[in-house]
Structure 1
Amino acid sequence: MKVLQDMELRHLRYFVAVAEELHFTRAAERLHMGQPPLSQQIRLLEEEVGARLLDRTRRWVRLTEAGRLFLADARRILALADQASATARRAERGEVGELRIGFTASTPLTDVFNRVVNAYRKQYPQVTLTMIDMTTMRQLQAITDRVIDLGFLRPPAGETPPDIRITSLRQEPLVLVAPASHPLLRQREIRVRDLASHPFVTFLPDAGTGIQRQVLQLCREAGFVPEVALQAGEGSTIIGLVAAGCGISILPESFSAIRVKGVRYRRLADAGAVTELMLACREGDGGELVRGFFEMAKGGGGEGEVGGAVRE
């Protein structure tokens, strides 16, 4: 262990040069140093190793058996050191490493998410993307706690922590989710006020989603408080309960990609019946990995920036 601590990479490079040239003068020229200092460094290396690595006379230099074996290991160590340096430089440029990304349940159903993730994986194939399904509010906490680096989320219910940067990637219509035979579907256009007398299937209050707050606000603006028949923690469960005739619901349009027999989706005519897909990260943190993903996502979505804490 003491030998490994005392030995420096330059000593290995000196030895490899001499072993490959089998000539101290040529090795010194290759290393851009004098021949006497090189000879001294090789002697010090042999003392540290505790073995004679080279046989030399005034006319020739040869590797000993110990030197031949040491050469193979020295080359491997130098190659690993070069690889480590290259990896560090690539990480500094945001080309390698790991990104931990949160996303809401409906996010993978959107074209923006699929386009950005695919483009990023192609441009940065050496970056590992760890994807974690989390609700909006849990993502915000996970970003603050450094559990994840970035989060695809919906408008949060409540204040955004001041250390979080949020960018809007796209606006998305909210849709009525109703049984296929529901009388509302016969209307040419459907507004939120038309839903007042119908029972709702909604997200649980502690589900951590911002959509529930938006829906309740839309209903209040339309002059009523929705009658909640059932609640669930997942959008797909809500759709299944609608199919079972338990009520109607309002969800982001991306959920319409979930095809359930007996369920229909219709856009709401109200101008405010929209939500957003957003991307969040810690302000001023994360380095080139986060910056690269964030900029690519902004270029791939691009409907302007919103958010509680930071606006660019």
Structure 2
Amino acid sequence: MSNETKVGILAAAGIVLLVLGFNLLKGRSLFSNKKIIYAVYTQVNGLQPSNAVMVNGLTVGNVQSLEVMDQRAGRILVTLQISKKIEIPKNSVARISSDLLGTRKVEIDFGNTNEYLKNKDTIYADVAGSITDALKEQISPLVKKLEVTLGAVDTLLLTVNSLFDTTTKHNIRGTISGLNNTMSNLSVASRSLTGMLQEDGKIGSTFGNFESISANLKNNNDKISNILTNFDKASGTLANGTLDTAMNQLRFTVTRLNDMVTKLDSKDGSLGLLIHDKKVYNNLQASTSSLNKLLEDLRYNPWRYVHLSVFGRKNKVVPIPSDTAKYLQ
């Protein structure tokens, strides 16, 4: 056998061993009759080839490959290789999950139908939430409540800051100072009261005076009763006789006064005309003015009305002050 033949045989054997080793590392077996099941996911959550496929905690196969079914990776085809001889119901679900260390796996939850999946059938796919997702679901409401609480605390602090400004602090200090003064006054009053209580003589004499007054009232109870009886009789007499007469006279007087006021308010009588008729008032005013001028002229020019001239000399007419004032105006 030539060297070239030996090299070719070794190269072929190496290639076969390489293919077998690669498939073994990926969990594939070229010489075993294993069942292939497909599952279509929209999110594989970090699943990798050779990850375990488990049923009730038992590893029954592994993930053979993952392929993108469209350009946007909206659907991912996962090939599951089942090495155990088990029957999987058609309504089972292949759910992607992870352990505490973050290792991904595919868990198959068996259904309850009597029809089973065959080789290269498709199983229902689902993605279980991770521990991080569960923590996020638990923490998200707490974060929202914390945000609301912090907002309320912030509002409260702003309100407190607005309340306790310089003026408010000054007012509070003044109020506290006033309370201190009030407490001091109460302390002084309590000491004074204590001193009064300790002086037995004054308090005893005061209570003695009250006792003597009450004794006098008790001794003069009959006299007080007679006085009240006489007062009752006098008030009854006033109510039954004199008081009624006085009230009747007062009513009569008020009635007459109302009639007089009514007549004054009407235009029938002289006073009513004098009050309500403006012409009468103007005539009276003019008559009064003329009378005043006559008296004034009689005072300054009496010779007009009484002739007392001995020699026949004419007296000069003196203007009265009212006419002079009118001309000056």
Taking structure 2 as the reference length, what is the TM-score of the superposition?
0.16
Structure index of larger Rg: 2
Q: Relative contact order (alpha carbons < 8 A, sep ≥ 6): 1 or 2 greater?
A: 1
Higher helix share: 2
Higher strand share: 1
Taking structure 1 as the reference length, what is the TM-score of the superposition?
0.17
